[in-house]
Structure 1
Amino acid sequence: MHILMVLAHPLEESFAASVARAARETLEGRGHTVDLLDLYREGFDPRLSDRERGSYFNDRYDASEVSGWIARLQAADGLIFVFPQWWFNFPAILKGFFDRVFAPGVAFDNDPAGGRIVPRLGNIKLFWALTTTGSPWWVVHLYMGNPVRRLLKRGIAALCGKGLDFRMISLHDMDRATDRKRKRHLDRVRAHLSRI
């Protein structure tokens, strides 16, 4: 399987980067190929341009500025997103990636009659998120209703693909995580990915 792994963290030595390294090593050790797309290191601009937004409901979305990233998405069999949750949401750079790359004619088609959008990512079979939260489990799940999981699973994955293997593996209370807890989380990530 060819996996596009999207990393969204500004610090090169972040825990998210450690998760991405562990995930990549595990997948490649199982014979998969991994295209690591590090949004910060590649200088991805998350801002939707006026041309992009202006063409959103036209016959053809203007993807000229993001065509290279779109080609990588279209070449993948699976997607793994690695990111921290900030304010119970995606980092802005990852939100911009969804806005600009998961676009009409790429990830979905608009229904001209105003009905449901039509999924286009038939090439994608696996859609996983490896993430951390600064808040404890109970705050994310019970108080906030796990908004990132809902957005990824019910929104992006369900509206852009069909029959996807969706998983979200999270380390909660990251701000107080000990080295031992972080190591256990990396082991957990490796164990899950080794089953792919």
Structure 2
Amino acid sequence: MRILLVLAHPLPDSFAASVARTAREALETSGHVVDLLDLYAEDFDPRLSEAERRAYFDVPYDTSAVADAVARLRSADGLILVFPQWWFNFPAILKGFFDRVFAPGVAFTHDAAGGRIVPELTNIRLLYALTTTGSPWWVVHLYMGNPVRRLLKRGIANFCSKKLAFRMLSLHDMDRATEARRKVHLERVRKALAAV
């Protein structure tokens, strides 16, 4: 399986970077091909331009400004996202990745009759999110309703692909996580991806 592994964290020595390394090692050990897209290291511009927005309903939609990322997404069988949750949401660079790369003609097409969109990422068979939160589990799930999971599963996964395996592994209360808890989480990530 060819996996696009997207890392969205500005610090190369972050825990997110450790999660991405662990994921990559586990996948490659199992024989998968991993394409690491480090959004910060590759200086991905998350800003949807005026021209891109004005042409959003053009057919075909022009994705030339993000052609490399689009090609990498289209050639993948699976997508694994590694990111921290900030303010109960995606880092801005990851949101911009969705805005610019998960574009019409790539991730979906507009239904000519209006309303629903038609999924186009039929090549993607799995979508995993490996994430951390600064808040405890109960705040994320009970108070906030786990918004990132809802957006990924009900929005991006369901609207852009059909019949994909979705999984989200989160380390909650990251700001107070001990080294031992971090190691346990890395091992959890390793085991989950070794089973892919």
Please tell me the TM-score bracket, short chain as reference: over 0.9
Q: CA deviation at 1:70?
A: 0.1
| TM-score when normalising by structure 1 | 0.99
User: Are 1:5 and 2:35 matched, yes or no?
Assistant: no
Q: CA deviation at 1:64?
A: 1.1
In structure 2, list runs of 5 or more residues that go unmatched: none
Q: CA deviation at 1:4?
A: 0.1
Aligned length: 196
State the 4+ residue runs in structure 1 displaced beyond 2 angstroms.
Answer: none
Q: What does residue 160 of structure 2 align with? A: 160
Give the Cα–Cα distance (whole angstroms) in 1 for the partners of residues 95 and 83 of structure 2. Answer: 11
Give the Cα–Cα distance (whole angstroms) in 1 for the partners of residues 101 and 17 of structure 2. Answer: 22
Q: What does residue 88 of structure 2 align with? A: 88
Give the Cα–Cα distance (whole angstroms) in 1 for the partners of residues 185 and 43 of structure 2. Answer: 29
Per-residue displacement from partner, 1:79-113 (whole Å, max 9, x unpaired)? 00000000000000000000000000000000122
Contact kept, 8 Å, 1:51 with 1:62, in 2: the verdict is no
Given residue 184 of structure 1, which amino acid in structure 2 is its aligned partner? V
Q: What does residue 77 of structure 1 align with? A: 77
User: Are 1:14 and 2:14 matched, yes or no?
Assistant: yes
Q: What does residue 125 of structure 2 align with? A: 125
Contact kept, 8 Å, 1:26 with 1:190, in 2: the verdict is yes
Q: CA deviation at 1:18?
A: 0.1
In structure 1, list runs of 5 or more residues that go unmatched: none
Taking only aligned residues, the RMSD between alpha carbons, in angstroms, comes to 0.5
Give the Cα–Cα distance (whole angstroms) in 1 for the partners of residues 162 and 113 of structure 2. Answer: 22
Q: What does residue 99 of structure 2 align with? A: 99
Contact kept, 8 Å, 1:82 with 1:130, in 2: the verdict is yes
SS at match of 1:83: strand
Q: CA deviation at 1:60?
A: 1.6
Given residue 193 of structure 1, which amino acid in structure 2 is its aligned partner? L
Q: What does residue 42 of structure 2 align with? A: 42
Q: Percent identity?
A: 74
SS at match of 1:44: coil
SS at match of 2:63: coil
